[in-house]
Protein backbone atom coordinates (compact mmCIF):
# COMPACT_ATOMS: atom_id res chain seq x y z
CA UNK A 1 0.00 0.00 0.00
CA UNK A 2 1.28 3.43 -0.93
CA UNK A 3 1.48 5.43 2.29
CA UNK A 4 2.96 8.52 3.90
CA UNK A 5 3.14 8.90 7.68
CA UNK A 6 4.10 12.17 9.34
CA UNK A 7 5.54 12.36 12.83
CA UNK A 8 7.26 14.78 15.16
CA UNK A 9 4.51 17.30 15.86
CA UNK A 10 3.94 18.77 19.30
CA UNK A 11 3.53 21.82 21.52
CA UNK A 12 6.36 24.27 21.84
CA UNK A 13 7.14 27.91 22.60
CA UNK A 14 7.81 30.67 20.08
CA UNK A 15 11.39 30.82 18.89
CA UNK A 16 12.02 27.11 19.32
CA UNK A 17 12.84 24.53 16.64
CA UNK A 18 11.17 21.31 15.58
CA UNK A 19 11.82 18.66 12.94
CA UNK A 20 8.98 16.78 11.29
CA UNK A 21 9.45 13.48 9.49
CA UNK A 22 7.49 11.96 6.64
CA UNK A 23 8.06 8.23 6.20
CA UNK A 24 7.07 6.73 2.86
CA UNK A 25 6.23 3.14 1.95
CA UNK A 26 4.80 1.25 -0.99
CA UNK A 27 6.60 3.18 -3.73
CA UNK A 28 10.11 4.09 -4.88
CA UNK A 29 10.58 7.17 -2.69
CA UNK A 30 13.73 8.38 -4.44
CA UNK A 31 11.96 8.79 -7.74
CA UNK A 32 9.53 11.42 -6.51
CA UNK A 33 9.55 15.01 -5.38
CA UNK A 34 7.94 15.71 -2.01
CA UNK A 35 5.89 18.67 -0.84
CA UNK A 36 4.87 19.97 2.59
CA UNK A 37 1.52 21.71 3.03
CA UNK A 38 0.04 23.12 6.23
CA UNK A 39 -3.42 24.04 7.47
CA UNK A 40 -3.98 26.38 10.40
CA UNK A 41 -7.00 25.54 12.60
CA UNK A 42 -10.19 26.37 10.73
CA UNK A 43 -8.27 27.80 7.78
CA UNK A 44 -7.37 26.80 4.24
CA UNK A 45 -4.35 24.99 2.86
CA UNK A 46 -0.98 26.72 2.53
CA UNK A 47 1.96 25.41 0.49
CA UNK A 48 5.09 25.28 2.64
CA UNK A 49 7.76 23.96 0.31
CA UNK A 50 9.06 21.26 -1.98
CA UNK A 51 12.14 19.11 -2.58
CA UNK A 52 12.95 17.69 -5.98
CA UNK A 53 14.08 14.14 -6.49
CA UNK A 54 17.83 13.45 -6.71
CA UNK A 55 17.42 13.05 -10.45
CA UNK A 56 16.64 16.76 -10.54
CA UNK A 57 19.26 17.78 -8.02
CA UNK A 58 17.28 17.42 -4.80
CA UNK A 59 16.89 21.19 -4.71
CA UNK A 60 14.20 22.99 -2.74
CA UNK A 61 11.66 25.83 -3.03
CA UNK A 62 9.79 27.53 -0.19
CA UNK A 63 6.73 29.65 0.37
CA UNK A 64 7.28 33.27 1.35
CA UNK A 65 6.03 32.89 4.93
CA UNK A 66 8.60 30.20 5.82
CA UNK A 67 11.56 30.98 3.54
CA UNK A 68 14.73 31.38 5.58
CA UNK A 69 13.25 29.64 8.64
CA UNK A 70 12.21 26.22 7.32
CA UNK A 71 14.38 23.66 5.52
CA UNK A 72 13.26 20.55 3.66
CA UNK A 73 15.61 17.60 3.20
CA UNK A 74 15.37 13.95 2.29
CA UNK A 75 17.05 10.64 3.04
CA UNK A 76 16.27 8.35 0.13
CA UNK A 77 17.99 5.39 1.85
CA UNK A 78 15.37 5.59 4.62
CA UNK A 79 12.47 6.83 2.45
CA UNK A 80 12.02 9.84 4.71
CA UNK A 81 11.45 13.52 3.99
CA UNK A 82 12.11 16.07 6.73
CA UNK A 83 10.84 19.53 7.53
CA UNK A 84 13.18 21.43 9.85
CA UNK A 85 11.35 24.39 11.37
CA UNK A 86 13.38 27.09 13.14
CA UNK A 87 12.41 30.35 14.84
CA UNK A 88 8.85 29.16 15.16
CA UNK A 89 6.07 31.71 15.43
CA UNK A 90 2.57 31.45 16.84
CA UNK A 91 1.25 31.73 13.28
CA UNK A 92 3.07 28.51 12.35
CA UNK A 93 0.48 26.61 14.38
CA UNK A 94 -1.10 24.16 11.95
CA UNK A 95 -1.53 20.59 10.83
CA UNK A 96 1.43 19.79 8.62
CA UNK A 97 0.92 17.37 5.73
CA UNK A 98 3.54 15.81 3.53
CA UNK A 99 2.58 14.75 0.04
CA UNK A 100 4.08 13.02 -2.95
CA UNK A 101 4.40 15.06 -6.08
CA UNK A 102 3.63 13.36 -9.36
CA UNK A 103 6.19 15.63 -11.03
CA UNK A 104 9.88 15.31 -10.28
CA UNK A 105 11.01 18.75 -11.31
CA UNK A 106 8.39 21.26 -10.24
CA UNK A 107 5.54 21.20 -7.71
CA UNK A 108 2.23 20.72 -9.44
CA UNK A 109 0.25 17.61 -8.49
CA UNK A 110 0.20 16.19 -4.97
CA UNK A 111 -1.23 12.71 -5.46
CA UNK A 112 -0.55 10.96 -2.14
CA UNK A 113 -0.99 12.60 1.27
CA UNK A 114 -0.15 11.66 4.83
CA UNK A 115 -2.62 12.00 7.68
CA UNK A 116 -0.91 15.11 9.02
CA UNK A 117 0.82 16.02 12.28
CA UNK A 118 -0.19 18.92 14.53
CA UNK A 119 2.28 21.62 15.51
CA UNK A 120 1.18 24.09 18.17
CA UNK A 121 3.30 27.14 18.94
CA UNK A 122 2.20 28.88 22.09
CA UNK A 123 3.73 30.78 24.98
CA UNK B 1 2.00 36.78 -4.22
CA UNK B 2 -1.60 36.59 -3.05
CA UNK B 3 -3.66 33.45 -2.81
CA UNK B 4 -5.78 32.46 -5.78
CA UNK B 5 -9.39 33.67 -5.56
CA UNK B 6 -12.21 31.18 -5.07
CA UNK B 7 -15.83 31.73 -4.03
CA UNK B 8 -16.29 31.00 -0.34
CA UNK B 9 -19.24 28.71 -0.97
CA UNK B 10 -21.33 27.08 -3.67
CA UNK B 11 -24.32 24.80 -3.42
CA UNK B 12 -26.38 22.49 -5.58
CA UNK B 13 -29.00 19.79 -5.44
CA UNK B 14 -28.31 16.11 -6.06
CA UNK B 15 -28.02 15.39 -9.77
CA UNK B 16 -27.24 18.98 -10.70
CA UNK B 17 -23.93 20.35 -11.95
CA UNK B 18 -21.88 23.02 -10.23
CA UNK B 19 -18.77 24.95 -11.20
CA UNK B 20 -16.14 26.41 -8.89
CA UNK B 21 -13.92 29.16 -10.26
CA UNK B 22 -10.32 29.93 -9.35
CA UNK B 23 -8.91 33.26 -10.47
CA UNK B 24 -5.24 34.15 -10.62
CA UNK B 25 -2.92 36.20 -12.78
CA UNK B 26 -0.65 35.85 -15.78
CA UNK B 27 2.14 34.85 -13.36
CA UNK B 28 0.33 31.73 -12.22
CA UNK B 29 -2.83 30.29 -13.78
CA UNK B 30 -2.51 32.38 -16.92
CA UNK B 31 1.10 31.40 -17.47
CA UNK B 32 1.13 27.66 -16.83
CA UNK B 33 -1.08 24.65 -17.43
CA UNK B 34 -0.28 23.41 -13.93
CA UNK B 35 -3.57 23.88 -12.13
CA UNK B 36 -4.74 21.23 -9.68
CA UNK B 37 -7.88 20.76 -7.61
CA UNK B 38 -8.15 19.05 -4.22
CA UNK B 39 -11.14 17.80 -2.28
CA UNK B 40 -11.02 17.83 1.52
CA UNK B 41 -13.63 16.33 3.79
CA UNK B 42 -13.69 17.44 7.46
CA UNK B 43 -10.67 16.28 9.47
CA UNK B 44 -9.35 14.36 6.46
CA UNK B 45 -6.29 14.86 4.30
CA UNK B 46 -6.87 16.48 0.90
CA UNK B 47 -7.31 14.31 -2.18
CA UNK B 48 -6.12 15.17 -5.67
CA UNK B 49 -9.10 15.38 -8.05
CA UNK B 50 -7.70 17.18 -11.12
CA UNK B 51 -4.15 18.04 -12.21
CA UNK B 52 -2.59 19.83 -15.18
CA UNK B 53 -5.86 21.76 -15.62
CA UNK B 54 -8.00 18.86 -16.85
CA UNK B 55 -6.38 15.49 -16.13
CA UNK B 56 -8.01 13.07 -13.72
CA UNK B 57 -5.95 10.73 -11.52
CA UNK B 58 -6.80 7.07 -11.63
CA UNK B 59 -9.80 6.34 -9.43
CA UNK B 60 -11.36 9.80 -9.57
CA UNK B 61 -14.90 9.84 -10.93
CA UNK B 62 -15.40 11.26 -14.42
CA UNK B 63 -18.08 13.48 -12.89
CA UNK B 64 -15.17 15.77 -12.02
CA UNK B 65 -13.68 17.87 -14.81
CA UNK B 66 -11.39 20.85 -15.07
CA UNK B 67 -10.79 23.64 -17.54
CA UNK B 68 -9.02 26.97 -17.89
CA UNK B 69 -9.58 30.21 -19.75
CA UNK B 70 -6.98 32.91 -19.44
CA UNK B 71 -6.17 33.38 -15.76
CA UNK B 72 -9.27 31.61 -14.46
CA UNK B 73 -9.53 27.88 -13.90
CA UNK B 74 -12.74 25.99 -13.20
CA UNK B 75 -13.76 22.73 -11.58
CA UNK B 76 -17.09 21.28 -12.67
CA UNK B 77 -18.85 18.50 -10.79
CA UNK B 78 -21.73 16.92 -12.67
CA UNK B 79 -24.41 14.61 -11.28
CA UNK B 80 -23.88 16.04 -7.79
CA UNK B 81 -23.93 13.45 -4.99
CA UNK B 82 -24.14 13.81 -1.23
CA UNK B 83 -20.56 12.58 -0.79
CA UNK B 84 -19.30 15.47 -2.92
CA UNK B 85 -20.03 17.82 -0.03
CA UNK B 86 -16.56 19.02 1.03
CA UNK B 87 -14.10 21.86 0.68
CA UNK B 88 -12.37 22.28 -2.66
CA UNK B 89 -9.03 23.99 -3.21
CA UNK B 90 -7.30 25.01 -6.42
CA UNK B 91 -3.55 25.39 -6.81
CA UNK B 92 -1.26 26.75 -9.47
CA UNK B 93 2.46 26.72 -10.11
CA UNK B 94 3.83 30.26 -10.41
CA UNK B 95 6.63 32.18 -12.07
CA UNK B 96 8.28 32.46 -8.63
CA UNK B 97 8.70 28.65 -8.65
CA UNK B 98 6.25 28.30 -5.79
CA UNK B 99 2.70 27.01 -5.54
CA UNK B 100 -0.28 29.10 -4.58
CA UNK B 101 -3.45 27.68 -3.09
CA UNK B 102 -6.88 29.19 -3.46
CA UNK B 103 -8.73 30.17 -0.31
CA UNK B 104 -11.03 27.18 -0.63
CA UNK B 105 -14.69 26.73 -1.52
CA UNK B 106 -17.22 24.93 0.63
CA UNK B 107 -19.60 22.87 -1.49
CA UNK B 108 -22.98 22.16 0.08
CA UNK B 109 -25.23 19.51 -1.43
CA UNK B 110 -28.77 20.59 -0.64
**Which residues in A lie closer than 8 A to residue B98 (C-beta atoms)?**
47, 61-64, 107
Nearest to B103 among A44, A63, A114 (CB): A44
**Separation of alpha carbons A78 and A104, rounded Å:** 19
In this structure, are residues A5 and A98 in contact, taking their beta carbons and an 8 Å threshold? Answer: no
pLDDT in the model for residue B69: 97
**Separation of alpha carbons B106 and A74, rounded Å:** 34
Q: What is the pLDDT of residues B30-80, one digit of tens each?
A: 999 999 999 999 999 999 999 999 999 999 999 999 999 999 999 999 999
3 state SS for chain B: CCCEECCCEEEECCCCCEEEEEECCCCCCCCCCCEEEEEECCCCCCEEEEECCCECCCCCCCCEEEEEECCEEEEEECCCCHHHCEEEEEEEECCCCCEEEECCEEEEEC
- Whether residue B98 and residue A61 make contact (CB cut-off 8 A), yes or no, is yes
**Separation of alpha carbons A114 and A7, rounded Å:** 10
Mutation for testing the A interface, residue in B36, B99, B100, B103 having most A CBs under 10 Å: B99
Nearest to B93 among A37, A107, A113 (CB): A107
- Whether residue B89 and residue A114 make contact (CB cut-off 8 A), yes or no, is no
pLDDT tens track, chain A, 123 positions: 999 999 999 999 999 999 999 999 999 999 999 999 999 999 999 999 999 999 999 999 999 999 999 999 999 999 999 999 999 999 999 999 999 998 878 888 999 999 999 999 999
Amino acid sequence: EVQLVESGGGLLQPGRSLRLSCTASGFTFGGYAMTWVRQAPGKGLEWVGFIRSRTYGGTTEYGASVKGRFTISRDDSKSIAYLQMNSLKIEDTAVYYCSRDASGVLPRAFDIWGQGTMVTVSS
Amino acid sequence: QSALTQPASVSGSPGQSITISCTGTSSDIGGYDYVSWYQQHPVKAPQLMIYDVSKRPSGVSNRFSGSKSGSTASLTISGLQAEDEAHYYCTSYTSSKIVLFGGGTKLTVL
